[in-house]
């Protein structure tokens, strides 16, 4: 009877457990593609071997902090692992980042590197753009006395070449 009761719960629990199982499979795929043993990853992530094994089998759902440690151990972006776990919303990401994440050919390391580079370029461009934007308190024509500035053109600029 216990076995049949357990079987009856499967359809109810499947939608709940599937994301956890998918996360575990994703972590296992990343670990095996990086050729890291479960013991080495557990050491890098600061968790026990049995715990990491349970995570990979979908029996445990790790916290965001543990996922960040696992991501560092795998050398993949924390963001991608948190998104895979459903902890981080990815809908607000720029189209470029969504496209990078959706590429099936790239490895997670490639995706992480591209997203990091993109973020660095965006930050640099935003900083540069913010430095260029000046909102004067006074109208622009009051800041520069245009007729006086035009009348004071140095002779070297007005002289004809060769004279």
CATH of the domain at 116: 1.10.260.40
CB 45 within 8 A of CB 70: yes
pTM, two decimal places: 0.50
User: What's the structural domain count of the chain?
Assistant: 1
Rounded (10°) CA dihedral 61, 64, 65, 71: 90
Tell me the pLDDT of the chain (163 aa) as tens digits: 444 444 444 444 444 445 567 888 889 988 998 899 999 999 999 999 999 999 999 898 888 899 889 999 998 888 778 877 777 765 556 788 778 877 888 887 888 888 888 888 888 888 887 776 655 565 555 555 555 555 555 555 555 555 5
The answer as to whether 157 is a domain residue is no
Domain extent at residue 41: 7-133
> Tokens at residue 27, please?
């972590």
Note whether residue 1 is domain-resident: no
For residue 150, tell me if it sits in a domain. no
Tell me, yes or no, whether 52 lies in a domain. Answer: yes
Contacts of 126 (CB under 8 A, 6+ apart): none
SS3 state of residue 160: coil
158 in a structural domain: no
- DSSP class of residue 49? H
- Residue 160 domain flag: no
Structural domain includes residue 50: yes
For residue 137, give the 3-state DSSP assignment: coil
Yes or no: say if 24 and 58 are a contact pair by the CB < 8 Å rule: yes
């Amino acid at each position: 009877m216990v076995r049949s009761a357990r079987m009856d719960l499967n359809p109810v629990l499947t939608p709940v457990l599937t994301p956890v199982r998918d996360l575990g499979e994703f972590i296992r795929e990343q670990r095996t593609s990086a050729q890291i043993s479960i013991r080495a990853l557990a050491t890098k992530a600061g968790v026990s071997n049995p715990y990491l094994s349970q995570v990979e089998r979908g029996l445990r759902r790790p916290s965001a902090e543990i996922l960040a440690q696992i991501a560092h151990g795998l050398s993949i972006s924390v963001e991608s692992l948190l998104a895979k776990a459903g902890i981080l919303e990815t809908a607000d990401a720029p189209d470029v980042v969504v496209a990078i994440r959706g590429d099936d050919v790239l490895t997670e390391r490639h995706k992480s590197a591209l997203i990091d580079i993109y973020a660095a370029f965006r930050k640099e461009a935003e900083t540069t753009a913010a430095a260029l934007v000046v909102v004067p308190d006074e109208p622009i024509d009051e800041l520069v006395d245009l007729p006086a500035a035009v009348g004071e053109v140095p002779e070297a600029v007005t002289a004809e070449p060769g004279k």
